Chain A
């Protein structure tokens, strides 16, 4: 029972169909109390549909949703103690900022004066007190965003749902809001479910991430899990930048897999459940886990020639052509220039990595 209480939202075998089209294919996941949980995926992956099902805007075709142990999938949205921050804020244009924030409190039976007092406190929390008498159209996008947040938090929901709330903001403001949101979540202790298609945003803010694609859950885990140990091709490709190589697994011994990647190049990496000897699968190697040297550092240094160096501010991206093999992208941080070498285009060298940098993927 205590286990149940720690689960804020429990989605069990949820299916959503629109006519012949299946938007969600039997999704099950548990979102913990006090968690900053992110649904991440490209547009059309079903993440917003799932969020709207939790909010009550979309009916569940099959399956069940529990909120702290109570089954809620048949309740209308106004009977669910969850609040939403909408993508385009959906602030009531004819009401003042203060009345917008007070609306939910009033609907929950607070008197007008009580609701306004509480709304004033919420506006203070998001540092917008001086705008309380204005209309939404008189505020900037970032300010409207914070009003939407205050409005959704004011009735003290058990779970806060955020539907791509930062997508309309410019980069700098978005970065600032990411931190602000994270802090707000810690301060209020409310469970946040955040929907985004921006993997960087997801990695920055989340306690756990559910990566979705084509209506299915691809991987669920902490940001480091998802980034460093992607489960399949989709996750490896969608999260961050990576070298995706086709390899054949020649042998597995003591939890180590020996793989061939064409052109006579050989690599050793950790074996993965579901990938056996003789199978041809993909391998993911993050560019920042690679480094270059004149002589092979470990036995399996891959010999190749520098094609191009690209300066990208904090890093230098190097494109390497392996002998009779695929192209590799190597990224060297500018702060690492003391330890790691950069070669001129055309120079021959070796590409090296530690064990564990390469990850076999279940396709």
Chain B
């Protein structure tokens, strides 16, 4: 049988290759139009000169990047100093997205584990229940969250009524509110990949660990987590990346002090006050940062795998 496959090999491989090229064509076209072209356009725009009422003048310029990193005074004629404003916004975005990811992981992992350990017939029901809130528009959900969390909102009313607190907690317009908003926006992206990983997990491994005198906690840490790590990794990326560029939750729940990079970019393209090249440059910087973070974590993951956990 092996000999037969080898002798007839080259001809079939060629036809197969050709067929594959044609069959993959739609995917390539879609990717080019929807992913590569917009990024490429953004890249070009970030190197153009701004038009004052929005839009661009087709003239090469580095001023968008310059404005991001350097402060040359009000009229642009002073010696360049490092501009901290945008870097700070950037740093805050990373931090907020990271906190939201951690929160999603802490809540999402047990949820995913719970669903994956239900009977086979109940699992789709639980997954369905998880996704129901996401049928409602994100904007409406975020606004509702603001109403729930505000000083005179139901949450504070409830906490005061049961006597846990005397005066309302100020949650809205804090970093924490933004983290909550991001967490709530992207939680299913954490739950679903982890659920998929835990569902494939061989629970005999947990039994083997318990049989070999491991406590529940040790079993989780040394056996379950390493086995479902790819799912956890995917979940973290799927929450972290959109959180980084999100602007709804920071705008509505964070107020002016908790500005994130997504809001900064959004403003550059809104109305007449915008600066398209600057917005494009900030987008490219965001994209670069996210890519660096992803590549870094992927390398860490590969290293850990090689070391053998």
A77 in contact with B211 (CB, 8 Å): yes
The count of residues in chain B whose C-beta lies closer than 8 Å to any C-beta of chain A is 20
B204, B208, B212, B214 pick with most chain A CB within 10 angstroms:
B212
Q: Give Cα A57–Cα B212 distance, bound, in whole angstroms.
A: 12
A90 in contact with B308 (CB, 8 Å): no
Contact of B207 among A82, A86, A151 (CB under 8 A): A86
Q: Give Cα A152–Cα B212 distance, bound, in whole angstroms.
A: 7
B152 CB within 8 Å of chain A = no
A82, A84, A92 pick with most chain B CB within 10 angstroms:
A92
A86 in contact with B214 (CB, 8 Å): no
A77, A82, A91, A104 pick with most chain B CB within 10 angstroms:
A77
Closest residue of chain A to B212 (Cβ to Cβ) is: A104
Residues of chain A lying within 8 A (CB to CB) of residue B209: 92, 103
B167 CB within 8 Å of chain A = no
A135 in contact with B213 (CB, 8 Å): no
Closest residue of chain A to B210 (Cβ to Cβ) is: A77
A108 in contact with B213 (CB, 8 Å): yes
Interface 0/1 of B179-218, CB less than 8 Å to A: 0000000000000000000000010110111111111001
A103 in contact with B214 (CB, 8 Å): yes
What's the minimum C-beta distance from A355 to chain B, rounded to whole angstroms?
50
A287 CB within 8 Å of chain B = no
Residues of chain A lying within 8 A (CB to CB) of residue B223: 92
The count of residues in chain A whose C-beta lies closer than 8 Å to any C-beta of chain B is 28
What's the minimum C-beta distance from A75 to chain B, rounded to whole angstroms?
11
Residues of chain B lying within 8 A (CB to CB) of residue A151: 212
A94 in contact with B308 (CB, 8 Å): yes
A88 in contact with B214 (CB, 8 Å): no
- How many residue pairs bridge A and B at CB < 8 Å? 67
B124 CB within 8 Å of chain A = no
Closest residue of chain A to B203 (Cβ to Cβ) is: A90
B308 in contact with A103 (CB, 8 Å): no
Residues of chain B lying within 8 A (CB to CB) of residue A84: 207-208, 211
B238 CB within 8 Å of chain A = no
Residues of chain B lying within 8 A (CB to CB) of residue A103: 209, 212, 214, 222
B226 CB within 8 Å of chain A = yes
Closest residue of chain A to B305 (Cβ to Cβ) is: A94
A77 in contact with B215 (CB, 8 Å): no
Interface 0/1 of A58-84, CB less than 8 Å to B: 000000000000000000111100111
A304 CB within 8 Å of chain B = no
What's the minimum C-beta distance from B186 to chain A, rounded to whole angstroms?
28
A346 CB within 8 Å of chain B = no
B4 CB within 8 Å of chain A = no
Residues of chain B lying within 8 A (CB to CB) of residue A135: 308
B211 in contact with A83 (CB, 8 Å): yes
Contact of B214 among A78, A90, A94, A95 (CB under 8 A): A78
Which residues from chain A sit less than 8 Å from chain B, CB to CB?
55-57, 76-79, 82-84, 86, 88, 90-96, 99, 103-104, 107-108, 135, 151-152, 155
Q: A78-B212, A78-B215, A93-B227 are in contact. List 9 more A-B contacts (CB 8 A).
A: A77-B211, A78-B214, A90-B208, A96-B308, A99-B308, A103-B212, A107-B218, A108-B213, A155-B213
